[in-house]
Structure 1
Amino acid sequence: MLLLSEEQTRDALPFPDLIDALAEIFRSGCVMPKRHHHDMEIPGEPDGTMLLMPAWVPGGYAGVKVANVVPGNSGRNLPAVSAQYLLSDARTGQMLALIDGGELTARRTAAASALAASYLARSDARHLLVVGTGRLAPNLIAAHMAVRSIEEVTIWGRSGEKTEKLVRKLREQFPARIEVAEDLTESLGKADIVSAATLSVDPLIRGAALKAGTHVDLVGAFKPNMRESDDDLVKRAEIYVDTREGCLSEGGDIVQPLQAGLISPEDIKADLYELCRADHPGRQSDESITMFKSVGAALEDLAGAILAYNNVKR
């Protein structure tokens, strides 16, 4: 059985190939039972979450990810997500590979955002604003650069010191101009693409601050009590999701407006299945504000794990 470290997993999942792999599995589909979602009490800090995410292609590959999400790890200088992925042969049941789940999760999450942006962001989008300074930030930059010609990146985080440190590091990795966002509201009004990856329970992305044509990518807030967008954004935007089932029950950016009666399930224009199968054309106007909400799906992990396994096995 192959054992893929964090570095090996990263090298085996180049973003252009990973984005293509996600598009293909959303087109072809797979068996994806509802994931297990368990709160874990952690004394003295917010609850953690254990996720169990199985998926398989009959007669092909099968896999399951076990992920622990611990918001309190930000104060320990540790990643919020710790995970492993077990890939198997779906015909024989043979265990094939144990893949670093944290790196797999970060890269497939960013790739799903970029896949959505390929349908929803304006073709001339050049300025990316990233809200959040965690593990996903550099992955979101690299993934969006794979689908749009990003020339300027602005980073906003709650901690100025942490944000400045990240910006210095990112300047060594990317050719784009990368700056600290001193004022979030002002930065929202300048960006062509806004990508938020936080564990916030209070809205950060104000719809009134956005210019026409902005694409908003909401990656964090994966539980019903979490939220990154405000009501103005939800009311202004054309809404898209990674999967309807997941976002209608889990993501606070969709669940809370639904409960408040601001939107109905019919207001979701399309999910990634429909976009990738050309059942919906995606963005149709340069002036529209588009909003993509993702909570993650097991088929994304499976597609990434298969790609990593085959790239390493060669």
Structure 2
Amino acid sequence: MLVVNQNEVAELLAMESCITVMESVLKDLSAGQAVQSLRQVLPLHQGNLIGLMPGFLKGEEVAGAKIISVFPSNHGSGLPSHQGLVTLFDSSTGVLKAVVDGQKITAIRTAAVSAVATRYLARKDAEVLAILGTGEQAKSHLEAMLLVRSIREVIVWSRTLAKAKDFQAEMSRKYGVDIIVAESVQEAVRPADIICTVTASTEPVLKGEWLKSGVHINAVGACRPADRELDSETVRLAKLYVDRLESAHNESGDYLIPLKEGVITSGQIIGEMGELISGSIEGRTTADEITLFKGLGLAIEDLAAANFIYNEAIRLQKGIEIAF
């Protein structure tokens, strides 16, 4: 069994490679070549939880699961909100091949999936990016968006102004891009061509009345039925795409709450990203359409990332081999 730690995951899973891997596995999922069970969630105290996410990649002959803790209460403590691991089994023999750090996989693959959605749904001339939130996902989403669109300006918002300024200083140095700190969400999103919501909020931070025509939104912060980052008007205005229909119908407050309110119908969801990639459903058809990708995070994304990391680790002789 190979053990791959967090530093090695960051070394072996480049964002550009991960975008390619995510595009492929999302297509496989919608085509039935990748299989997963709905995330099992064990609630803990103070809104924290443990999640179990099993899946099977038929073409790669690997199966496994991610076990992840989601602790929103860690924000401000210096500890990450998402911690865990991904197990990788040979599906033909049942042999445990690897255990891979799950925190860094989550950070990279979540942004990579948003990049896939942006590549297919955002306007080709999109150049102003708004990021709501300043945590690990904000950083990885900035990296990912820069790879799929020619971004000339980034606007960042945080509930804590000091965190937004720290993000501005660190990321502008790292990527050489112009970053502006906004004092309100409205100020951040008004000029935006692409919006990434990566907050820990359980109540809407983004309102539909603030959106300009033609914007594309990646909403990935909320992953429980009672939680949302978007108000109902935002969802009503948008062509909605999801990573997995089953997950959206069971886990996405951003979709379920406006559905319950009667603001939208089940027909609001155009389909899955895998269907869009394969060309079986349509994407953006006009420059003025508002498009929305709601990402919840999928087991097959973690497995595909872990399998890529495992193969790279074998090739480059990374990781620690442990008799098990």
Q: TM-score range by the shorter chain?
A: over 0.9
What amino acid does structure 2 have at the position aligned with 1:124? D
Are 2:63 and 2:89, in contact at CA under 8 Å, matched by a contact in 1?
yes
Q: Which residue of 2 aligns with 1:23?
A: 23
SS of the residue aligned with 2:53?
Answer: strand
Which structure has more relative contact order (CA 8 Å, sep 6+)? It is 2
Matches within 5 A, 1:101-140: 101-140=102-141
Query: Secondary structure at the residue paired with 1:203?
Result: coil
Q: Is the 8 A contact 1:119 1:281 kept in 2?
A: no
Partner residue in 1 for 2:82:
81
User: Is 1:235 aligned with 2:231?
Assistant: no
Structure 1 residues 251-288: Cα deviation after superposition (integer angstroms, max 9, x where no partner)? 11001011111112222112112112111231111101
2:39 is the alignment partner of 1:35? yes
Mapped to 1, the partners of 2:78 and 2:281 lie a distance apart of 42
Distance in 2 of aligned mates of 1:200 and 1:262: 21
User: How far apart in 2 are the matches of 1:231 and 1:285?
Assistant: 22
Please state whether the residue corresponding to 2:293 is helix, strand or coil: strand
Instruction: Structure 1: state its 5+ residue gaps.
Output: none
Query: One-letter code of the match for 1:31?
Result: V
* Contact 2:236 2:268 survives alignment (8 Å): no
- Are 1:310 and 2:323 matched, yes or no? no
Q: Distance in 2 between matches of 1:28 and 1:183?
A: 40
**Number of equivalenced pairs:** 310
Are 1:14 and 2:14 matched, yes or no?
A: yes
Coordinate RMSD, CA, aligned = 1.3
In the alignment, residue 33 of structure 1 is paired with which amino acid? S
Q: CA deviation at 1:57?
A: 2.3
> What SS is found at the alignment partner of 1:172?
helix
4+ runs deviating over 6 angstroms = none
Which stretches in structure 2 are left out of the alignment for 5+ residues?
A: 316-324
- Separation in 2 of the partners of 1:311 and 1:26? 21
Partner of 2:155 in structure 1?
Answer: 154
Alignment of 1:1-314 (within 5 A): 1-29=1-29, 30-41=34-45, 46-58=46-58, 60-314=61-315
**SS of structure 2 residue aligned to 1:255:** helix
In the TM superposition, residue 28 of structure 1 has moved relative to its aligned partner by 2.2
C-alpha contact (below 8 Å) 2:57/2:304 kept by paired residues: no
Partner SS state of residue 245, structure 1: helix
Query: Do 2:232 and 2:257's aligned partners in 1 also have CA atoms closer than 8 Å?
Result: no
User: Matched residues in 1 for 2:259 and 2:232: separation?
Assistant: 11
Secondary structure of 2:213's aligned partner: coil
SS at match of 2:174: coil
d(CA) in 2 for partners of 1:3, 1:128: 37
SS in structure 1 of the partner of residue 108 of structure 2: helix
Q: Secondary structure at the match of 1:284?
A: coil
Shift of 1:172: 2.1
> What's the offset of the Cα at 1:128?
0.9
Q: Secondary structure at the match of 2:66?
A: strand
Paired letter, 1:107: I
The structural deviation recorded for 1:308 is 1.0
- The answer as to whether partners of 1:128 and 1:194 remain within 8 angstroms in 2 is yes
TM-score normalised by structure 1 residue count: 0.95
Aligned equivalents of 1:57 and 1:161: distance in 2? 43
